[in-house]
């Protein structure tokens, strides 16, 4: 039997076992298609064996492996830990507060073979309603038939393993916020666009999952503010210009109010910023190195930049070339009957005397 092409990788934490079990049951359609990785993103020193047995009892996959991240348990640290474990050419990251409806890998694989996208998501519905959760219509996008070119905001993200490794994996400075947004931006800047297959929505996002780092993590405002500062510094977006206006408008109108809530004021933002100065000083060398690398990216997209058809047209030749090379390796073309006949005739002619 041929080895699987896919790894399905799930990042989880203690306290979300009920949601993880629900997700694993929904993935039974993929039992023979993928290696399944479950990564506990918390240092766990006790009862590792019993935890592993419990998780494996919930999964019907043929190949299931459970790992414990005892190193950097931030989200970006967990993501890079997930990526380092992957041995298959394709990987699908799925959040543990989702469930799937139907075989997702068939849809993803078909989309990857015909669409030059480096990262592919599927639409998700909110809880048990028909309301679309992601992608949001407010996210800059270009609709192209059943595909929407735009930032893929985690939830489910399928890609070529080597693509993520080639661009450097997940940014370690997006510790608890913005790791997917930054990765999407970096992919576009390398000429590797991202987007959603919009037909057949087969995901549900269950918003009651506890301990969400983006919804109820203590100190969430500091994590988001840290991500904003790193983004501005790493991508030369400190000054407000026509090119960076969208980024700063979102910071002002969405992210600061989302982070600080009713306590938002110039004083609280300044106090929070000052509290981050020691960490910022320690990371400044890495930020500067990254900024110099980013300045050499072939395509100069800026954070949250509105997309145009001209933007897409500029990157598609690069995407077709780079992703086409990977596709030919993963799905080698099968010789047709006509092609075999032509090669046979040419061989006969070469061997025949003049």
189-201 pLDDT, tens digit per residue, is 999 999 999 987 6
The 10s digit of each residue's pLDDT in 238-290 is 999 988 999 999 999 999 998 899 999 999 999 999 999 999 999 999 999 99
pLDDT, tens only, 303-354: 999 999 999 999 999 999 999 999 999 999 865 444 455 555 555 555 555 5
The residues of the chain that CATH labels 3.90.550.10 are 6-205
According to CATH, what is the number of the domain 6-205?
3.90.550.10
How many angstroms separate the CA atoms of 152 and 150, rounded? 6
Q: Scanning the structure block, which residue is given the tokens 């929505």? A: 201
Prediction pTM value: 0.91
- Which DSSP category does 27 fall into? G
Of these ranges, 36-45, 90-99, 201-210, the one predicted with the greatest mean pLDDT is: 90-99
Q: What is the pLDDT of residue 145?
A: 95
Interstrand relation of 124-126 and 142-144 (parallel, antiparallel or unpaired): unpaired
- What is the pLDDT, as a whole number, of residue 213? 61
Closest to 178 in 3D by CA, of 230, 142, 140: 230
Write out the H or E segment, with its range, that includes residue 107: helix 104-114
Three-state SS string across 279-333, please?
HHHHHHHHHHHHHHHHCCCCCCCCCCCCCCHHHHHHHHHHHHHHHHHHHHHHCCC
pLDDT in tens, 279-305: 999 999 999 999 999 999 999 999 999
Residue 344's pLDDT is what? 58
pLDDT score for 217:
67
pLDDT at 27 over 80: yes
Nearest to 244 by CA among 255, 231, 256: 231
């Amino acid at each position: 039997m041929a080895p699987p092409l896919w790894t399905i990788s799930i990042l989880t934490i203690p306290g979300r076992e009920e949601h993880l079990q629900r997700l694993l049951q929904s993935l039974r359609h993929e039992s023979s298609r993928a290696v399944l990785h479950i990564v506990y993103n918390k240092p766990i020193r006790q009862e590792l064996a019993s935890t592993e047995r419990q998780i494996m009892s919930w999964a019907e996959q043929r190949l299931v492996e459970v790992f414990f991240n005892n190193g950097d348990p931030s989200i970006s640290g967990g993501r890079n830990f997930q990526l380092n474990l992957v041995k298959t050419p394709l990987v699908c990251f799925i959040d543990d507060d989702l469930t799937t409806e139907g075989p997702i890998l068939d849809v993803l694989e078909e989309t990857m073979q015909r669409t030059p996208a480096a990262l592919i998501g599927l639409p998700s519905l909110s809880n048990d309603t028909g309301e679309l959760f992601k992608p949001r219509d407010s996210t800059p996008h270009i609709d192209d038939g059943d595909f929407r070119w735009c930032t893929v905001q985690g939830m489910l993200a399928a890609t070529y393993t080597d693509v993520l490794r080639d661009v450097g994996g997940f940014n370690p400075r997006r510790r608890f916020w913005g790791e997917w947004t930054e990765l999407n931006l970096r992919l576009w800047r390398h000429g590797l666009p991202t987007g959603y297959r919009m037909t057949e929505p087969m995901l549900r996002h269950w918003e009651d999952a506890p301990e969400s780092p983006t919804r109820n993590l203590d100190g969430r405002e500091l994590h988001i503010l840290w991500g904003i500062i790193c983004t501005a510094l790493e991508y030369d977006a400190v000054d407000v210009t026509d090119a960076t206006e969208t980024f700063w408008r979102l910071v002002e109108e969405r992210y600061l109010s989302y982070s600080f809530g009713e306590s938002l004021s110039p004083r609280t933002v300044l106090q929070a910023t000052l509290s981050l100065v020691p960490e910022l000083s320690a990371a400044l060398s890495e930020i500067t190195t990254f900024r110099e690398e980013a300045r050499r990216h072939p395509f100069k997209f800026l954070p949250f930049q509105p997309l145009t058809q001209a933007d897409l047209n500029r990157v598609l030749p690069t995407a077709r070339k780079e992703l086409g090379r990977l596709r030919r390796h993963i799905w080698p073309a099968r010789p047709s009957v006509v092609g075999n006949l032509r090669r046979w005739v040419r061989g006969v002619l070469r061997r025949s005397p003049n």
